[in-house]
Amino acid sequence: MRPFVRRLALGLALVFAAAPAGAASLHLEKIGGLKLGGEGAAEICSFDPQSKLLFVVNAGETAVEVVDLSNPAAPVKKSSISLKEHGGGINSVAVKNGLVAVAVEADPKQDSGKIILMNLDGTVRKRFDVGALPDMVAFTPDGKYVLAACEGEPNKDYSVDPEGSIAVISLAKGVDAATCTMAYFHSFNTQKAQLQAKGVRISHPKATVSQDLEPEYIAVSPDSKTAYVVLQENNAFAVLDVATAKVKDIKPLGMKDWKKAGGLDASDKDKKINIKPWPVHGLYMPDSVAAFAAKGKVYLVTANEGDSRDYDGYSDEARLGKVYLNDRIFPDAKWLTRDKQLGRLKVVKDMLDTDGDGLADRIVAYGARSFSIWNAATGAQVFDSADQFERIIAKEAPEYFNAEEKFDDRSDDKGPEPEGVTVGVVDGRTYAFVGLERQGGLMVYDVTEPAKASFVQYINSRDYAADQKSEAAGDVAPEGVLFIAAKDSPTGQALVVTANEVSGTVAVFAARK
């Protein structure tokens, strides 16, 4: 099958609502790309508009690849900056005003990680010890701070469970005089019951709140004053006051009711596309988050991936077919738990039994197979794409529906698995670009009016007919999604860049009318 780039047919577009009146007709088109290596060679990327250099995390080599993007149609690898001497692996990179920040985990990753600040040529300017497993690094829009989400994942047997934390590096007095303050969640340790009552998931029975919370990704308000930090496994986000490095609040994200949200395909054994309003709830559990402003309010856009804790010493996942459903609530329990129905669906064990009688009173799965928009101040959801992703894929690529490697092989897990998200303005309208890690490709939505977000385009530069690790496969498993505004672009036209983990490629898309 050739790589496909198609718009929705009119009939389906009407199902999902037409674009708002006056909306520009945005169209992404792949114009260039570069293969940097094998799996893991391209994960997260960041762009410096002055030098026209793209910095790409190569996790396989513990290096940052430096790519000349002065001609986006023909990117060229310029150099490679090895960071092996600083730790056990690289997770994230960000660049602003000629300064590069890199998040480096320790070996073992339960030890303190590091944030490395360096010049564009790789010369290290400053190095800070931070929390365990710094998973994402970002500059504030004003360039005065570097922030890092330190996830604090446990080891395999769960005998060591570091606290989650957020690093706040101040550049107010310059790079060489930069200082680092760690923001912890200690003040919430006495609030476990209250947080759980609000809907914040604290799952491990022996963990403190600060151990259980795992910061994953950061978005910063346009005024640079507030950071919103996704706590993926906890199905919540933290609100950080940047200047004081204090966590002010933790807001739960709630659950999605698939009986009201259109439906999902929950089985990889039924050999068909079977999107139905099953009696299932989904924890949003976003991976990445982006912030934007509209009419004086700040909104967050999340890619609702879902993630389990599946360790040797503790696992929170199970197949529904191995769960005892309360047959008073689910009178068709035997039928539901068959493999061709919901039996193969991965569910969240600690969220099923609400009254402690050993029976599942509800079915709760990982992720929401969607993207959402939230009011940053209140935490209220103002939009969710419901079942659109799966229905769009069913229309656009039915022979590779929910496919990581073959038809339907991800339906029992997290479907197309949205992972990366970014937001950008093109010709006065705001768009969200959502990368689908397993399915591949980008979903594009107009989010100018947050409560009325509308589908624009699905583009996928992967060739499913080829082995997914071969060069012929194209771009497989977008991990990082980057927007380059027209004013910063080498061509004067807005660009979207994806770093694709499995194929080890960078793909460059032009945003055109």
In whole angstroms, what is the distance from residue 314 CA to residue 348 CA? 13
Q: What is the pLDDT of residue 513?
A: 80
In whole angstroms, what is the distance from residue 318 CA to residue 278 CA? 18
In whole angstroms, what is the distance from residue 85 CA to residue 83 CA? 5
DSSP string, 457-469: EEEE-B-TTS-TT
Q: What is the pLDDT of residue 15?
A: 29
Q: What is the pLDDT of residue 469?
A: 77
DSSP string, 366-430: E--SSEEEEETTT--EEEE-TTHHHHHHHHH-GGGTT-SSSTTTTTTTTTT-EEEEEEEEETTEE
DSSP string, 166-180: EEEEE-TT-STT-EE
H or E stretch including 213? none
3-state secondary structure at position 223 = coil
**Within its chain, how far is the Cα of 380 from the centroid?**
19
Hey, what are 305's tokens? 């991936």
* Contact between residue 461 and residue 35 where contact means Cβ atoms under 8 Å apart: no
Hey, what are 274's tokens? 């079977």
Q: pLDDT tens across 144-200, in order? A: 999 999 999 999 999 999 999 999 999 999 999 999 999 999 999 999 999 999 999
DSSP string, 234-250: GTEEEEEETTTTEEEEE
Fold of the domain built from segment(s) 4-307+367-512? Methylamine Dehydrogenase; Chain H (2.130.10)
Q: pLDDT tens across 69-113, in order? A: 999 999 999 999 999 999 999 999 999 999 999 999 999 999 999
2, 478, 386, 400 alpha-carbon torsion, rounded to 10°: 30
Q: What is the pLDDT of residue 10?
A: 25
Which of 450, 446, 472, 451 lies closest to 461, judged by CA?
A: 472
pTM of the model: 0.94
Q: pLDDT tens across 418-469, in order? A: 999 999 999 999 999 999 999 999 999 999 999 999 999 999 999 998 888 7
